[in-house]
Amino acid sequence: MSESAPSAPPAPPKRPRRAADGLRPLEGPARASAYVCEAVSCLSAQSHDILLKLGEQVSGAGLKDVEVKRVGCLLLCASGPLVQIPGTGQLFSNVRPDDLDAIVEALADVTPGEQRAPEAPFFSRQRRIATENSGRIDPESLDDYVEKGGFEALRSVLTSMTPAQVREEITRSGLRGRGGAGYPTGLKWNTVAKAVGSPKYVICNADEGDPGAFMDRSVLESDPYRVIEGMAIAAYAVGASEGYVYCRAEYPLAVSRLRKAIHSAGRAGYLGLHILDSKLGFEVDVRLGAGAFVCGEETALIASVQGGRGTPTTRPPYPAVAGLWDQPTLINNVETFANIAPIIRKGGAWFAGIGTSTSKGTKVFALAGRVVNTGLIEVQMGTTLREIVFDIGGGIVDGRAFKAVQTGGPSGGCIPAEFLDMGVDYESLVGVGSFMGSGGMIVMDETSCMVDVARYFMDFCREESCGKCAPCRVGTTQLWILLDRISHGGATLDDLAQMERLGAMVQRTSLCGLGQGAPNPIFSTLRYFRDEYLAHIVDRVCPAGVCAIEPAPVPV
Amino acid sequence: MTKPTLATVWLDGCSGCHMSFIDMDERLLEIAERADIVYSPLVDTKVYPDHVDLCLVEGAVSSEDDLRKIKLIRERTGTLISFGDCAITANVPGMRNPIGVQPLLERAYLENVTLNPGAPTEVVPALLPMALPVHRVVKVDVFLPGCPPSADLIHQSLVDLLEGRTPDTRGARFGR
Amino acid sequence: MTTVHTFRINGSDVAGTDGQSILAVATENGIDIPTMCHLDGLSDTGSCRLCVVEVAGSSKLTPACTTLVSEGMDVSTTSEQLCGYRRTIIEMLFLERNHICAVCVANNHCDLQNLAEELKLDHFELPVIAPKVGIDASHALFAIDHNRCIMCVRCVRVCDEVEGAHTWDVMGSGIGVRVVTDMGTPWGESTSCTSCGKCVQVCPTGALFEKGRSIGEGSKERRPFLPYLKNQAQEPELT
């Protein structure tokens, strides 16, 4: 529809695909392709060497019509480096640079035009919206993104929709914040749109800090343009003119790809003044976080963007009303923005048709822990934990017994086996004492000690507490001391009772979500695994054999 | 009818709380009429009696000897009272807690000493890793904060306890 | 034009103007809410959490110092649970560093000590942290003993908002958080410090103190200090 708009700039000319840096471009169209994952986990396993070597070997074998291409995350991260042949759906895992013959051989046999997805349940059970381009495009190529329909949504928004219509479409989709709390995105956009003040800001929260979670990193590394497009659409919908991506500095590749993407999107007219010759002017800049977990909390994030110390402030006022520089500010998570373009392209109703009654669409999870397949997955809301752990995840390593799955990071909880058939959405997770969070999902088996798990997360919280409010600053340390005492066999039942009282107090009185959520791992493990706590305290044994019980309790 | 028995104990403290106890002055006679003082640094008894009704404990639990004593006292005592800040918070004896035992001994007996340097190893009991409030080690029934608790507070609390009431410790505070 | 909001605190009808905090209105009406980080005339941070109150219709507790009044709200400032939480907060503040009232310059002139008495806190149950923290006595006139600091950051605010020097700020995270001068350089080497002493005056405990005074002299005894802070708080119309 938007293609016919008279104001649209001419589409970039088609030219032979430029392969990734360091490779010679093809002269004609490619008969077959090899996709080499260059997201950070494969890169750290030397996937760039593989890319170059594979290029050499392909040329050496005289395969002039074979393209070797850098792509984003191929999802099965723990088995990297990964190389995929999209023509046959073959996925080569744990590839070594000196052992590429099988790939070259397979490339020789590809019939042109065919595209097949890998058949393994790890892939076939997923439903990919936010990560649809991940592992399919070169993340540093704007052409690639545009070829897959990129910026179509922005174009159609600018040429044929009013801001109110955009917000309505997002509201209709039922999309909820993917950062954790699940606040309805449409409602947030409407609040910012109605808030009085100018300029308004759009901030993309890429300060992903949950242990074991890397969804946002992967999206930024694999498909940065999608996030920019989502932000630009949001800017149009709420009337914002400036945007920031707040990304942790521990993600250098994501930051560099994002910066490149912002630069090239700006040159191509997708950012800047008069985007696509419309009235929309929107600039995006990257701000780096210094690794403080609390900066994922929106008020702390804003303080950090402003150049101050990243400490949270009391809400209200909410950022939607008085955020960055006290102006109305829309803050959404990377994954939320990654869902915007598909919703606009295919319609809110389409998105609302996916998922459960309260949680629409899909959710990206970082599946980790004691499962066979660890990596990134995107599944429809309402997919059961059993499907995730046993079908997609391939079950527990070494055939051991499943014990629990931890979701929601340090504010989340552990879900025991009795809830394996529960469909995962925002409400069901809260119902069993956990939390969606940003999407970390850690699977534990019988060799995991739940006291140790709670202690680990409390250790994380006490280090990451900003120290501003007393209950969180002191309480998390005291809770950790109590957990440590339990795990060493030095605690009494009084200590356990005190820990529960203290946890409830910290939950109720802390200033921000970090402190309010910090006791959750304790409460959820106590809810389902109290017997393990009692074993440590009364019998002074660690049933899983993880904790080092000290020979005699020491008075403290 | 026999009178209730009262003991006072001096662990790791400066004896200031006992001074404050003596500051009750003539009211001491009143207390002596109502209770038998059976064990105290102020009276000449060597062995803690088998059963004591009320016991005021001054000082933190700092050494192995303190630990042994307080456990025995708890076993043999009806109402145990943490008497003053050292017993309640470890207070001044607790100032060593952030330092640790070994550096502490080195500082006191090696670095600052010119004559016969060396930490004592015999006769004196070994220090615990931390100076502990009494209630970290045994159950305590009543807390009388203050450094020291005032004679009035001690008197009022003892009278309350002897008359079977929960002591009214309003106005009691840490420090002065 | 100011809008007046009528609402209830502990069942009595009260009125406050737009932009007033629950704490301000409660104080005007003689309703006592314990505070620690709050000081009239300085901005509020809502960090000590002592002044948390219950507002009907909200499951969350809200700090009275940073929550603005609104029409029809129903606030209760005291309940058994709230008192318990406040007592725990005071207990936490005592336990996070090393407070020895008996040997402190602020003994008997200390807000922390007073609140412990007010809230009938007579012993501590929670785990002791007893960290090893230092003293900076490099300044010619003043010193800071971090053992006694409760991170109310009144010093940071008075230095920034009243003196305009911004010598003090906060460094570190979690239990390791500290107030620092000039980005962590010793106080005595600070080039921004004007030696005005306001930080010492507003410190609620014995953390900041004047040098050369003995404990017995009670150097932290409250003088009628910084009167402009009070005036500023009483005359919001001026701004």
pLDDT value at position A18?
Answer: 46
Per-residue three-class SS string for chain B: CCCCEEEEEECECCCHHHHHHHCCCCHHHHHHHHCEEEECCCCCCCCCCCCEEEEEEECEEEEHHHHHHHHHHHHHEEEEEEECHHHHHCCCHHHHCCCCHHHHHHHHHHHCCCCCCCCCCCCCCCEEEEEECHHHCCCCCEEECCCCCCHHHHHHHHHHHHCCCCCCCCCCCCCC
Residue C6 to residue A174: CA distance in whole angstroms: 38
Coil, strand, or helix at residue C53? strand
CA distance A485 to chain C (A): 10
B97, closest residue in chain C (CA to CA): C130
| Closest among A544, A510, A506, A535 to A522, alpha carbons compared | A506
Mean pLDDT of the region B113-123: 86
Domain with CATH 3.30.70.20 in chain C: 102-231
Chain C residues with CB-CB distance to B under 8 A?
A: 94, 98-104, 107-108, 110, 113-114, 116-117, 120, 122-125, 128, 130-133
pLDDT value at position A323?
Answer: 95
Over 60: is that where the pLDDT of A464 sits?
Answer: yes
**In this complex, which chains have at least 3 CB pairs below 8 Å with chain B?**
A, C
Residue A143 to residue B4: CA distance in whole angstroms: 94
Mean pLDDT across chain B: 93
Dihedral sign computed on CA atoms, order C103, C109, C110, C113: positive
pLDDT value at position A370?
Answer: 95
Mean pLDDT of the region C132-137: 94
pLDDT value at position A107?
Answer: 87
Over 50: is that where the pLDDT of A15 sits?
Answer: no
Q: CB neighbours (10 Å) of residue A286?
A: 17
> Which among B98, B169, B174 has CB closest to C113?
B174
> Which among C62, C89, C127 has CB closest to A470?
C89
pLDDT value at position A1?
Answer: 41
Residues of chain C contacting residue B171, judged by C-beta atoms under 8 Å apart: 117
pLDDT value at position A119?
Answer: 80
What is the pairing mode between strands C208-210 and C142-145?
Answer: antiparallel
Residue B114 to residue A539: CA distance in whole angstroms: 51
Residues of chain A contacting residue B129, judged by C-beta atoms under 8 Å apart: 554
Residue A173 to residue A237: CA distance in whole angstroms: 15
Q: CB neighbours (10 Å) of residue B123?
A: 5
Mean pLDDT of the region C126-151: 94
pLDDT value at position A550?
Answer: 87
Over 90: is that where the pLDDT of C1 sits?
Answer: no
Residue A553: pLDDT band (50, 70, 90) is: low
Mean pLDDT of the region A150-158: 96
Coil, strand, or helix at residue A212? coil
Interface touch C98/B99, C-beta < 8 Å: no
Give tens-digit pLDDT for A257-306: 999 999 999 999 999 999 999 999 999 999 999 889 999 999 999 999 99
pLDDT value at position B113?
Answer: 87
Interface touch C132/B99, C-beta < 8 Å: yes
Residue A214: pLDDT band (50, 70, 90) is: very high
Coil, strand, or helix at residue C135? strand
Name the β-bridge partners of A440.
Answer: A366
Over 90: is that where the pLDDT of C222 sits?
Answer: no
pLDDT value at position C237?
Answer: 45
- The CATH number of B5-95+130-162 is 3.40.50.700
Mean pLDDT of the region A369-384: 95
pLDDT value at position A112?
Answer: 74
Ranking A29-38, A356-365, B43-52, B67-76 by mean pLDDT, the lowest is A29-38
The percent of residues above 70 in pLDDT, for chain B, comes to 99
Say yes or no: domain C102-231 is CATH 3.30.70.20. yes
Residue A551 to residue C58: CA distance in whole angstroms: 48
Interface touch A477/C174, C-beta < 8 Å: yes
| Closest among A453, A408, A450, A448 to A431, alpha carbons compared | A408
Structure tokens belonging to residue A149: 């329909």
Structure tokens belonging to residue C208: 């900041």
pLDDT value at position A2?
Answer: 42
pLDDT value at position A6?
Answer: 46
Rounded to the nearest 10°, the torsion over CA A81, A85, A86, A89 is -90
Residue A14: pLDDT band (50, 70, 90) is: very low
- Residue C38 region, left (φ>0) first, then alpha (ψ -120 to 50), else beta? beta
Interface touch B85/C101, C-beta < 8 Å: yes
Interface touch A502/C88, C-beta < 8 Å: yes
Over 80: is that where the pLDDT of A87 sits?
Answer: yes
Mean pLDDT across chain A: 91
Domain with CATH 3.10.20.740 in chain C: 4-78
Mean pLDDT of the region A333-360: 96
pLDDT value at position C238?
Answer: 40
Over 90: is that where the pLDDT of C179 sits?
Answer: yes
Interface touch C61/A508, C-beta < 8 Å: yes
Spell out the domains of chain A, with CATH numbers in brackets. Answer: 32-119 (3.40.30.10), 142-352 (3.40.50.11540), 362-445 (3.10.20.600), 450-539 (1.20.1440.230)
Over 60: is that where the pLDDT of A5 sits?
Answer: no
Interface touch A313/C67, C-beta < 8 Å: no
pLDDT value at position A455?
Answer: 96
What is the pairing mode between strands B5-10 and B36-39?
Answer: parallel
| Residue A292 touches chain C, beta carbons under 8 Å | yes
Domain locations in chain B? 5-95+130-162
Structure tokens belonging to residue A330: 């829309």
CA distance A498 to chain C (A): 8
The percent of residues above 70 in pLDDT, for chain A, comes to 94
Contacts of B52 (CB under 8 A, 6+ apart): B5, B6, B7, B38, B39, B73, B76, B77, B78
Interface touch A465/C89, C-beta < 8 Å: no
The percent of residues above 70 in pLDDT, for chain C, comes to 89
Coil, strand, or helix at residue A276? helix
Residue A30: pLDDT band (50, 70, 90) is: confident
Interface touch C61/A509, C-beta < 8 Å: yes
Answer yes or no: are the C-beta atoms of A354 and A170 closer than 8 Å: no
| Closest among A367, A374, A378 to A406, alpha carbons compared | A367
Chain B residues with CB-CB distance to A under 8 A?
A: 67, 128-130, 132, 136-137
Identify which has the larger pLDDT, B14 or A107.
Answer: B14
Residue A3: pLDDT band (50, 70, 90) is: very low
Identify which has the larger pLDDT, C229 or B100.
Answer: B100
pLDDT value at position A555?
Answer: 53
C112, closest residue in chain B (CA to CA): B174
Residue C228: pLDDT band (50, 70, 90) is: low
pLDDT value at position A98?
Answer: 86
pLDDT value at position A31?
Answer: 84
CA distance A525 to chain B (A): 27
Residues of chain A contacting residue B136, judged by C-beta atoms under 8 Å apart: 555-556
> Which among B90, B92, B175 has CB closest to C107?
B175
Over 80: is that where the pLDDT of A313 sits?
Answer: yes
Q: Which fold has domain C4-78?
A: Ubiquitin-like (UB roll) (3.10.20)
